[in-house]
Amino acid sequence: MTGFNLALNDDQIAVRDWLHGFARDVIRPAAAEWDEREETPWPIIQEAAKVGIYSLDFFAQQQFDPTGLGIPIAMEELFWGDAGIGLAICGSALAAAGVVTNGTPEQVGTWAPEMFGTPDDPKLAAFCSSEPDAGSDVAAMRTRAVYDEATDEWVLNGTKTWATNGGIAHIHVVVASVDPELGARGQASFIIPPGTPGLSQGQKFKKHGIRASHTAEVVLDNVRVPNSCLLGGKEKLDERMAKARERAAAVARGEKVEQVKNAAMATFEASRPAVGAQAVGLARAAYEESLEYAKTRVQFGRPIIDNQGIAFTLADMRTRIDAARLLVWRASWMAATAQPFTAAEGSMSKLYAGETAKWVTAQAIQIFGGNGFTREYPVERMHRDAAIYTIFEGTSEIQRLVIARTLSGMPIR
């Protein structure tokens, strides 16, 4: 009988060290430049593609790690390098997760490789869910998908916002409402192939942090896609819609019924521990910078780490980072071994890791003092980058709501 063990195996250590080297030698030296430019770091993505990091095969291999730790290990190391460039490299994986989670095997085989392109010609993908009036309130989504039986096509109209790689992506995965009366349960996901007429980029956002990652609106104006681009297929959608309507009728009668999976939420459930791992990598980077600075910065004739106020803060930083990593690893292991999140463990991992990244980077600036407030030192950028981890893919408030509902079984609002 194998005892409890948190040690990484040889393959995981090899991947971790390989990624750490790439983050140290390629990502970090370019981080400040691309943050200032606020542009997609194509040369870094191309370099990642050439060495095999930016590829479907790489992300699939990590996803299929039977321990569940492949993806969080990869995310932590890449985002230790830089969060903005890390998201530019990993942003396509969210769209791929949407296809893998909701699509048929044929759709996965057709579209997932298209999202990454080739080492010589890398491509990007975008997952488009949020809207100007539907962020945390997924049920308020207004983008519509209407089936045209005469042509066997779906017609999509609406505006998406906060889309990573939106408008510049080769492949867009769009969540749209098929039956608005069913709210979040009346939605489905669609593949928008490259060059499809009617899809265009709206405004590109100038952001507080993660500025090397492209974020923009996506406008859909009578976008027509074949029925084969409906993820999961129409038969499965019709069956799911029928169950959702039965559920709505049962709820109206006061009956207790089983929940119906939502396309966007299924994607976010799969990605939350990975996002938590990104936050862990960012927090670890800020902690390591702070530790080294505290050892070498001399005030009043001695290194500032000799002061308990600094030393205790560093102790708390490291403790929170390790706790966040363990929550991420637990959720990832549970997902890989098909154990249900009975206490919303995925949301717990993202919540705590995101809050940790924000707190740790704030403490880093405090340790650096006035230097930490300048762009001459990386902790300023790290603090800006960390702010997003309590906002995107479910705010901290939404994570707490999910956890509270799961624990209580009550419809808390």
Q: What is the set of active-site residues?
A: 393
Q: Is 330 exposed, middle or buried (0-12, 13-18, 19+ CB in 10 A)?
A: middle
Amino acid at 198: G
Q: Are strands 171-177 and 125-128 parallel, antiparallel or unpaired?
A: parallel
∠394-398-404 over CA atoms, to 5°?
A: 135
The amino acid occupying position 376 is E
Type of residue at 321: I
Instruction: Say if CB 348 and CB 403 are below 8 A apart.
Output: yes
Residues 341, 331: contact at Cβ < 8 Å? yes
* CA-wise closest residue to 140 among 2, 264, 301: 264
Q: Which single residue is written with the structure tokens 């606020």?
A: 38
Q: Looking up tokens 């998908």, which residue turns up?
A: 145
Residue the block writes with tokens 């705010």: 395
CA dist 220 and 158 (Å) reads 5
Element (H, E) at 313: helix 308-336
Between CA 64 and CA 102 the distance in angstroms is 17
Q: Is 307 left (phi over 0), alpha (psi -120 to 50) or beta?
A: beta
